[in-house]
Homo-oligomer: A and B are copies of this chain.
């Protein structure tokens, strides 16, 4: 891939086609793109940085890496209640990247663009001696004034979480070879949950009408809930036995290869955690049923500060390390 035109050739061959549905992307030929919110909407914008060995594994399939970096950002759109529209992509490729790798990576992008109805609108590609890294800037529409925030949880609200918690963490452990005892089905399920999270976009949009606070769980359930606690100025009690756990994770717990606090501090869930008034609990059940998605009440909002964890005996549990720490 040496030769003077190769950056432009890569853009033309593999990336420009990904912008075909978005006229404001100008087929990636210009210095910048034009974006507009839909009528009556504001633009929500988020940017995540992802590095090999931290957010994905260097030997993951290129298609899966592409889809994961989009999904992590789509999860931010979900957390704000936004409908995702498009994204800009900065790729930091190592010098020995092959055209074949980039082609497969672009196929992964195309796949999830279709799935989530989004379009590439711009970005930049560089090569360096570094390991692979990416930065995605995702934007979407949210009806003016309805975006979900972290600061609206009120005393008496119920705390909910979507899906199951801990699968991503166990999937990462398994991918790194730390859970060799797992059977193939369990291993595949957990590793897929790490590798390809499911951003809860429809849920986020439905919640704009009912939730008082919302975020996506990426650093670990407890650590992320502490942001809601802090921003809303309230205390949150979580009941350990109510945390939804998949059959696969249950099996790992049963075998003693991890414990419950690992699951709620591990991160990489990309589920939504949110609060809603008790009076809306039938609405939340309705959404769960419409979307065929498990939504579990796991705690409640009280006066005070911080997040408390309560075991099946009603005893407060201490957690020394509330979540994944980037630094």
One digit per residue, 1 when the CB lies within 8 angstroms of any chain B CB and 0 when it does not, for chain A 32-69 equals: 11111100001111111111111100000000000000
A137 interface hit (Cβ, 8 Å): yes
Chain A residues 269 to 324 lying within 8 A of chain B, measured CB to CB, are 321-323
Residues of B within 8 Å of A122, CB to CB, are 45-47
Residues of B within 8 Å of A191, CB to CB, are none
Which stretch in A84-92, A168-176, A252-260 binds the other chain?
A84-92
Chain A residues 130 to 176 lying within 8 A of chain B, measured CB to CB, are 130-131, 133, 135, 137, 139, 142, 147, 149-151
Residues of B within 8 Å of A77, CB to CB, are 32
Copies in the complex: 2
Specify which of B10, B33, B50 is in contact with A327 (CB 8 Å cutoff): B10
Residues of B within 8 Å of A26, CB to CB, are 149
Complex-state Cα separation, A79 to B33, whole angstroms: 11
Beyond A54-B128, A133-B133, whether A45 also contacts B76 by CB under 8 A is no
Q: Are B4 and A322 in contact (CB under 8 A)?
A: yes
Q: Are B80 and A31 in contact (CB under 8 A)?
A: yes
Task: Among A48, A137, A231, find the residue whose CB has the most chain B CB atoms closer than 10 A.
Answer: A137
Beyond A35-B42, A35-B45, A90-B47, whether A131 also contacts B129 by CB under 8 A is yes
Beyond A34-B142, A76-B32, A128-B54, whether A45 also contacts B88 by CB under 8 A is yes
Please name 12 pairs of A and B residues whose Cβ atoms are closer than 8 Å in the assembled complex, sorted by A: A4-B321, A29-B231, A36-B42, A36-B43, A45-B121, A49-B124, A49-B126, A55-B126, A90-B90, A126-B326, A128-B131, A130-B130
Seed contacts A46-B122, A127-B327; 12 additional CB < 8 Å A-B pairs: A3-B325, A4-B322, A31-B46, A31-B79, A31-B215, A32-B46, A32-B77, A32-B80, A45-B139, A47-B124, A49-B90, A126-B326
Spell out A's residues near B (CB within 8 Å).
1-7, 10, 24, 26, 29-37, 42-55, 76-77, 79-80, 82, 88-92, 121-131, 133, 135, 137, 139, 142, 147, 149-151, 215-216, 227, 231, 321-323, 325-327
9 A-B pairs with the lowest CB-CB distances in the bound complex, closest first: A135-B135, A32-B46, A49-B90, A130-B130, A31-B79, A47-B88, A90-B135, A137-B137, A51-B128
